[in-house]
A and B are shown apart, each in its own frame.
Chain A
Amino acid sequence: MSVQTARVRDSLAEEVYRSTGQSVARCYQCGKCSAGCPLASETDYPPSQLLRLTQFGDASLDQKALGSLTIWLCLTCQTCSARCPQEVDLPRIMDFLRQKSWKQGTVHPKARNIIAFHRSFLGSIRMTGRMFELGMIADYKRRSWKFFQDVLLAPKLFVRGKLHFLPHRIHGARAVRRIFSRALEKRGATR
């Protein structure tokens, strides 16, 4: 085993492998994931191309992947992984890229509202243990400045008995908050 290709230390590919057990080198660019991805046409890099960016171990390409809109548009519908002939768990890789992108502060500017949604969603669970729809939506409007979105929907939901005005606080709310604090502490989050 004398001849070995030099491996770039701490490339994104290696980090992905360490955190998810997924090897990006398995992908041979057949493009099945991009063909099946329901949002491929909306992304800046369709899934197979995003993976390609990470295959070189090149720092600037790695940063392109981490700053892409693709990772935030991904719906985790798992169509890609269901069809991948190499059984690459792309949704798991997307999760890792999202987490890293957020942590290092390179979120694509067009993903701002998606981030706002995640913050509002998780904030709601952190507070009471369960997601409280009305509170979550109000918080999202505040963060995204989309004050008038869906205002016509609210009365329709109300007459159908689907709008609850008070959150349900579970007994274990404190336990849930502890899960949040400790998990995010370990991660060394930016927020």
Chain B
Amino acid sequence: MFLIPCPYCGERDQSEFAYAYQAHVHRPKDPDRLTDKEWADFVFIRDNPKGVFAERWIHAAGCRRYFNLMRNTATDEILAVYRIDEPQPKVEPALPATPSGEAPIGSGNDAVKVVKPAERGS
């Protein structure tokens, strides 16, 4: 269960929220001008990155507001939270990657990597 900082109510448990898919997916202004494939892309195709992802949530059990957040999908670290009418902020994952390349926080299910002696610098 994540701890999600609702931009209105503050930090709450994930059980109060519902996921509402990728953020910044704008409904085409004039769908009739789109080819079938373009429309299908709008309806069905979403990004699924390992890394920073802007996604939409609703505080369903609380203030019932939709909002966007930026999450590092590799670590589940939440990097930014903002209203749906605000532009996507620029964020860098705040935590450095471990020397082996694995993310330093997460859900406990990433494979264990240990630092090889040769790679250990000062």
Please indicate whether A and B come from the same complex rather than being unrelated chains. no
Binding site for B on A (CB under 8 A): none
